[in-house]
Structure 1
Amino acid sequence: MPFSSAIADNGAAGQYVTAADRALYRFDNASATPSRSNCAGDSAETWPPLIAQRGRVAYAGATRPRLVGFVERADGACQIAIAERPVYFFIEDRKAGDLPGQGIGGIWRAVTSTGVKAGANLR
């Protein structure tokens, strides 16, 4: 799947990155140095990683191109990373503008175009 991002805005959380009209989240417990994905198994069913096909171009869109990269997952798949942080969808996001994953467990946050956490918790 090619990656093309856009920016959405939520009154409480502020601006955040979307792909395929769904929010992208970062997992605060994932390492950015070195960049690696810590979400697998049942967790990856709840927080599906944004996977890219190896050898395909990633269209950064609203994200700074130099901040978009890839992380090789334990299963060999290539996961999109923003500012070296792997990014994920949340299974409960149903439509554009949904942001139910914001602040879950204090460790899941929507990601901004610079890779930092989007504003306030919504939970």
Structure 2
Amino acid sequence: MKHQQIRLECGPGVARRLVDLLRDYTEVAFPAHSTDCAQVAREAMLDAIASLESSLLAEGRAEYSKRLRAMFREAVKMHFELHAAETGECCEARTAALHALCGGEALADADYAAAETRDRAAGHKA
């Protein structure tokens, strides 16, 4: 039985950011030499990341298993929560943009830059 796939389309800058934050999340959430269950999740994430990296950077589009969507969204959330904690910066627009990408909406580099501008205009979190 083939699992449903989610199609990602994005610019190279967005692709690099997504791949990097997915790798960071995988290292934190599923460290090497952890439980067998965590190792299965780690390998699934690393395989998906490798596939995404080659396809997104070469073609600007890729597909991943819908079963991984929750982990992708959690990776985005964790990345921006940590960034906000470190900098005090608002990250809501960027988080929403990458969550939408993980759900299958296209995201151009210019649209991500606009989200970043909106976050900066919103200022710092109290």
In which range does the TM-score fall when normalised by the shorter chain? under 0.3
Per the normalisation by structure 1, the TM-score is: 0.26
Larger Rg computed on CA atoms? 2
Bigger proportion of residues as strand: 1
